Chains A and B, each alone.
Chain A
Amino acid sequence: MSAPASVRLEEVTKRYPLLTRRGRLHSLKGALLGGELWRLNREEGGFEALKDVSFEVAPGETVGVIGPNGSGKSTLLKLVAGILRPSSGTVDVRGRVTALIELGAGFHPEISGRDNALVNGMMLGLSKAEVLRRLPGIVEFSGIGAFIDQPVKTYSSGMYVRLGFAVAVAVEPDVLVVDEILAVGDEAFAHRCLDRIAQLQRQGTAILLVSHDLGLVEQLADRALYLRGGSPVLLGTAGAVVARYRSDVASEESVGEAQVGTPRRWGNGDVTLDAVELVDRGGRPVRLLSSGEAAGIRLAYTAKAAKTDFVFGIAISREDGVHVFGTNTELDGWTSERLDGSGEVVVEFPALELAPGRYLVDAAVHSKAGLAYDYACEALAFTVAAPVGWPGSYAPRHAWVPRGPAMRPPAT
């Protein structure tokens, strides 16, 4: 985190003035003659949508913002996007910021998709030449084809948002602000959106993501911010913050039983797992992988007392509970000698050939006899993306070799 933050908020407060019956100014006469125009920017009182929020987003980092309705999530995004100004505090954003708040916002129905893409692209900060250069990519990504020259009023709602998304990500922003929009389009497009977001993450785009889809936040975000009534409740790793939010919601609903999806964990605590992370080839934590990519699962531990009897293990299962793979150090033939203090072990996969979908990881450290020091169920969730929606759990590299049938290979 030594690199300068892409987004930095310091004690940001946003106050909305309470509107009078006619709006913010009391009368036209007052505005023009009574000096209300002068006092306008020195409002006190009103409704505080956001109170003293401070956090940073590093380049390449994704921060999820969660919380109940009316907790100030969208206000926060609009402040970062520069649509709103803070009432106090500072919002610092480095580089080009793109807001995906409503896809296709402001498309003019009467003019063609091409012209709309041009206008929106330029509003997002590209020059005309840059938009024109990226236009073929936009058309391809959105899958709109020849419709690009039709007025957008003829588009289906799916085409509309696809074009909106394609334009917004074509900008290659330094900071991307996303509000609850990945739920649009069909499965295939949703996958492409996630792929594209993963690509932006790798390129170092700082992403701020608001969503009620907690699973998505866990998948995509490194850290999360939990807001309630405009105030920050918790800022931390996505898994921990989501768990806290879930338990808050659960206790509010006064449901006694454990919530589905709440991490279950047991053990005597002699050794604790401090972090369970999926890391990419470079060792950076990720939550989204392409099928067949190299990856590792990193377990960070702290031993309270020195141990000679210990086994580290992991198990991967599909979201629907189907077991996919599991192993531990004993099974793989390692002999445990000594465990003391803090450290980490990584299970490396040269190519994690999983079928596209969402996977959960259980991680554990226990004795050879099976006494759990720390056993964390669903300690990690990650998503595997693939160009094709292969069913099942295993997606080995493969090729079709027709010897007889006349077939054309897929266009690449």
Chain B
Amino acid sequence: MITSLYRQRALLAVLVMRDLKARYRGTFLGYLWSLLNPLLLLAVYTIVFTFVIPARGATTVPYPLFLFAGLLPWMFASGALLDSAVVLADNGPLLKKVVCPPEVFPAVTVLSHLIHHLLALPVLLIAIAVAAGLGELRFPWTVALLPVALLLWTVPVAGLSLAVAGLAVHFKDLKDLLHNLLNLFFFLTPIIYTVSQVPAGILRRSVMANPVAPLVEIYRGVVLLGQVPPLGTWLWATLVAVVFWWFGAFVFGRLRETIAETV
């Protein structure tokens, strides 16, 4: 799978460019939307959670930033997965009429969502810098570990995207099912709350058992909180990443031959 994608890297690059060009074609602000969307989102959160529902005390950092740092990678993952569910159907003509390896399409979806994520990152980093300037928090130099945290997100997301893309060709229901599953996982994952807020017991254990939780912990830890999570969390996250990738590549590999004739 990896070697096939590597051989297609030039095609991948061109397709990612096509995706990005097509997305903002004809809009006045163009790529600025990639910056503007998260900025507006952050502004709304800041207003709501500062003035409407003041949420203080639970987190050591301003709550809007806490929320935002958890939401960004989640949006990357859920966006990529939801798009993967339709990407093969959308590119049906290419698969059926032109010879091309199907795995490039979920890969392109993940890459273009990753690029959107990278475009949104400056908003978060600048907001953190501003908050640090205002004395709300200490600037987290652990941000240097961000590339590792991103890699830990990208690998499992890529794997799941492959599985979702391959299965969605055979099961159109998957898209709706996925939507609901993602909603459920969103609340099962410590994004809008911290693990310590969850009452100890079965509830906390299920949050801890959620494989996405360590990914969020690591990402938010290094980018915002200035904490490097313990080694166990890293190992757990790495295991999750490898297993998801392996699972996705396996499922896709089994379905690969059936895609062109089914899509």
Q: Which residues of A contact B (CB under 8 A)?
A: 16, 22-25, 28, 31-32, 37-38, 40-41, 78, 81-85, 97, 99, 101-102, 105-106, 108, 110-111, 115, 118-120, 122-124, 127-128, 151
Q: Which of A28, A99, A110, A128 contacts B22 (CB 8 A)?
A: A110
**In the complex, how many angstroms separate the beta carbon of A301 from the nearest chain B beta carbon?**
45
Given contacts A105-B98, A106-B91, A106-B94, contact A128 B14 (CB under 8 A): yes
List B residues 78-134 near A (Cβ within 8 Å): 91, 93-100
Q: Which of A16, A23, A102, A111 contacts B171 (CB 8 A)?
A: A23
Q: Which of A85, A118, A123, A151 contacts B25 (CB 8 A)?
A: A151
A-B contact pairs, 9 of them (CB 8 A): A22-B170, A28-B167, A28-B174, A31-B167, A41-B257, A101-B98, A110-B22, A119-B18, A124-B99
- B100 — nearest CB in chain A belongs to which residue? A123
Number of interface residues of B (CB under 8 A): 33
Chain A residues contacting B22 (CB-CB under 8 Å) are 108, 110-111
Residue from A110, A120, A127, A151 with most neighbouring chain B CB atoms (10 Å): A110
- A120 — nearest CB in chain B belongs to which residue? B98
Known: A101-B97, A118-B14. 17 other contacts (CB 8 A): A23-B262, A24-B258, A40-B255, A40-B258, A78-B260, A82-B99, A83-B96, A102-B93, A102-B97, A106-B93, A110-B21, A110-B25, A115-B17, A115-B21, A119-B15, A123-B11, A151-B25
Residue from B26, B167, B174 with most neighbouring chain A CB atoms (10 Å): B167
- A101 — nearest CB in chain B belongs to which residue? B97
Chain B residues contacting A101 (CB-CB under 8 Å) are 96-98
Chain A residues contacting B257 (CB-CB under 8 Å) are 41, 85
Asked if B171 contacts A22 (CB within 8 A), the reply is yes
Question: B202 at interface (Cβ–Cβ under 8 A)?
Answer: no
Chain A residues contacting B171 (CB-CB under 8 Å) are 22-23, 25, 28, 31
Chain A residues contacting B254 (CB-CB under 8 Å) are 37-38, 40-41
Asked if B18 contacts A108 (CB within 8 A), the reply is yes
Chain A residues contacting B262 (CB-CB under 8 Å) are 23-24
Chain B residues contacting A31 (CB-CB under 8 Å) are 167, 170-171
Asked if B99 contacts A122 (CB within 8 A), the reply is no
Q: Please, how many angstroms separate the alpha-carbon atoms of A101 and B98 in the complex? A: 8
**In the complex, how many angstroms separate the beta carbon of A277 from the nearest chain B beta carbon?**
34
Question: B10 at interface (Cβ–Cβ under 8 A)?
Answer: yes
Q: Please, how many angstroms separate the alpha-carbon atoms of A81 and B261 in the complex? A: 13
**In the complex, how many angstroms separate the beta carbon of A167 from the nearest chain B beta carbon?**
10
Chain B residues contacting A111 (CB-CB under 8 Å) are 18, 21-22, 25
- A26 — nearest CB in chain B belongs to which residue? B170
Asked if B97 contacts A122 (CB within 8 A), the reply is no
- B20 — nearest CB in chain A belongs to which residue? A111
Chain A residues contacting B26 (CB-CB under 8 Å) are 110
Asked if B98 contacts A127 (CB within 8 A), the reply is no
Question: B251 at interface (Cβ–Cβ under 8 A)?
Answer: yes
